[in-house]
Amino acid sequence: MAHHSHAEGEVHPEVGHVVPVRYLVGAGLALIVLTAITVASHSVDMGEANLPVALAIAMVKATIVALIFMHLRWDRPFNLLVLVASALFVLLMLAFAGMDVHQYEPTIFNGNPTQVEQTLQANAPGAPVAQVKSTNGGGT
Amino acid sequence: MTQIAHDHKAPAHGHDHGHSHAHGSHGHDAHGHHDPNLAHHFDSLAQQFDSAKLGIWLFLATEVLFFGGLFVAYAILRMRFPEVFSYASHYLDTIMGGINTCVLIISSLTMALAVRYAQTDNRKGLITCLVLTFLGAVGFLVIKYFEYSHKFHDNLVWGPKFYVPPHSAEGDLEAAVLKTAPAAPGTAITVENPAPWQVPDLAKKPAVDASAVKAASQGPSGVARANGTPAPAPAAEPAPDAKDQAHPGTHLEDASMPPNTHLFFAIYYAMTGLHGIHVVAGMGILAWLTWRAVRGDFSSKNFTAVDTGGLYWHIVDLIWIFLFPLFYLIH
């Protein structure tokens, strides 16, 4: 592969790309600093924002690892496409699972027996599962 | 997985390689002789290198999807039980998790340097960095061992054992686990012949507050909550602070513990355990690379194994970068 960004005066392999030391050490330092920032942000109460902030910092760290340590900045773009596509498919799975999980929420025992019994009686009247509350909680 | 360079095994002269070279004519010297680092089924070193890289990247994509399923499970559990995650996260040691994050980052750095040293014919630097990376993996697992063993000691584990009082004798645990298995709805729960560890509790509290009963009634099905069973009254001594990481073993006596807290530890062990297995596999790869580096296999003409092994090690680091805030840093 042709590269034109380096004049380090070192041995150059015929293939691949030699990442300068300053890039590697800089990436390592950035990752340590970002780790310190994410730990510090943990003790700051940002309400709902804590999780997005932590995930955003993790995304930046992951990008640094992928681009510098894993050479993707200089690698064939298709390898980057493979990584990004796999992450997108995880997000796709997360999105559909997240949509699906709430479909069954009313029938799950989550501390609201009245709602559960109403739902079960409405959807499946007389089914054995609908009798759970009366056999279980009758004495209390 | 795509095989990497068949160094020293390639035939000195193979089939006709005179056909078109998509990526140039690397790998053949001026006389048309075969490069010993080029496997005969590749046209050029560039093609061989690109194939190896594509192969390892496709494997890493399957790793992302592999962990992705668990990340989805984590997300659904956290959406459903946010209070469990914000409560149970305090049982994890942020200091140890943070140190482990730094250990993995530094070992990733030494791995990237190892690739560089292999590319630049620096055998001594390559061996040093591979050994340092290996030691980083060892350090990570040692710290993880201390974290795990502490939690196992306190019964901060998955499943019904989470609801067994910790520090009881080993023989009692089996019986206690059996007794505290989640009861079917409507099943009458009685405690006969309480185990020795229950006696002090029973002396102070009514039988319904005995830990075994609580465990059964707050089993994974959450039936007891539907049943209206009140949370057991805290013992005479004040409930321990959840943030007191030195003695979290008394989680059963903590009245503020939300139901289904064991689910946090189930997904915690599933994800960090799978990650730990990858660290162990990475140690095997690093040991193999070190052995080959000492043998003198690697050079600027043959470093693909170091490069691809390094990519695997980086993805292990990359996954931990997400695991750390998702488990240790929940506000």
Q: Please report the DSSP string for B97-118 in residue order.
A: HHHHHHHHHHHHHHHHHHHHHH
Average pLDDT over residues A58-87: 96
Closest Cα of chain A to B222: distance in Å?
6
* Residue type at B305 in one-letter notation: A
For residue B141, which of B174, B180, B99 has the smallest C-alpha distance? B99
Comparing alpha-carbon positions, the chain A residue that sits nearest to B228 is A140
Spatial neighbors of A3 by CB under 8 A, at least 6 apart, are A17, A74
Q: Cβ distance B23 to B47 under 8 Å?
A: yes
A100 touches chain B (CB under 8 A): no
For residue B281, which of B114, B141, B115, B165 has the smallest C-alpha distance? B141
For A70, which of B45, B116, B314 is closest by C-beta distance?
B314
Chain B residues with beta carbon closer than 8 angstroms to that of A101: 76, 79-80
> Between residues B68 and A1, which one has the greater pLDDT?
B68
Q: Is it the case that residue A110 has pLDDT exceeding 50? A: yes
Mutate which of B83, B109, B123 to test chain A, going by most A C-beta atoms within 10 A?
B109
Phi, then psi, of B318 in degrees rounded to 5: -65, -40
ipTM above 0.90, yes or no: no
Each residue's pLDDT tens digit, B113-135: 999 999 999 999 999 999 999 99
pLDDT at position A103, please? 75
For residue B61, which of B130, B2, B103, B111 has the smallest C-alpha distance? B2
pLDDT at position A65, please? 97
Number of C-beta neighbours around residue B233 at 10 A: 11
Q: Is it the case that residue A19 has pLDDT exceeding 70? A: yes
For B61, which of A1, A69, A82 is closest by C-beta distance?
A82
Each residue's pLDDT tens digit, B221-265: 444 443 444 444 444 344 444 444 444 446 888 888 888 899 999
Chain B residues with beta carbon closer than 8 angstroms to that of A104: none
pLDDT at position A33, please? 97
Chain B residues with beta carbon closer than 8 angstroms to that of A139: none
pLDDT at position A128, please? 65
Q: What tens-digit pLDDT sequence spans chain B (331 residues)?
A: 444 444 444 444 444 444 444 444 444 444 556 778 888 889 888 899 999 999 999 999 999 999 999 999 999 999 889 999 999 999 999 999 999 999 999 999 999 999 999 999 999 999 999 999 999 999 999 999 999 999 998 888 888 888 888 776 554 555 555 555 454 444 444 444 444 443 334 334 333 333 433 443 444 444 444 344 444 444 434 444 444 444 444 688 888 888 889 999 999 999 999 999 999 999 999 999 999 999 999 999 999 999 999 999 999 999 999 999 999 998 8
Least confident of A72-76, A98-102, B55-59: A98-102
Tokens linked to B246: 């030195």
CA–CA separation, B329 and B331 (whole Å) = 6
CA–CA separation, B46 and A65 (whole Å) = 24
Closest Cα of chain A to B196: distance in Å?
29
A64 touches chain B (CB under 8 A): no
Spatial neighbors of B188 by CB under 8 A, at least 6 apart, are none
Alpha helix segments (H runs only) across chain B: 45-80, 82-88, 94-119, 123-153, 170-179, 199-204, 211-217, 223-227, 262-295, 304-328
pLDDT at position A11, please? 61
pLDDT at position B148, please? 95
- Angle formed by the axes of helices B304-328 and B262-295, to 10°? 160
* 3-class state of residue B151 by DSSP: helix
For chain A, helix (H) and strand (E) counts, in that order, are 5, 0
pLDDT at position A16, please? 85
Chain A residues with beta carbon closer than 8 angstroms to that of B106: 28, 32
pLDDT at position A133, please? 47
Comparing alpha-carbon positions, the chain A residue that sits nearest to B321 is A58
A98 touches chain B (CB under 8 A): yes
Percent of chain A with pLDDT strictly greater than 70: 76
Q: Cβ distance B176 to B195 under 8 Å?
A: yes
Which pTM value belongs to this model?
0.72
A75 touches chain B (CB under 8 A): yes
Chain A residues with beta carbon closer than 8 angstroms to that of B111: 69
Q: Cβ distance A24 to A68 under 8 Å?
A: yes
Residue pairs between chains A and B whose CB atoms are closer than 8 Å: 193
pLDDT at position B32, please? 55
pLDDT at position A44, please? 86
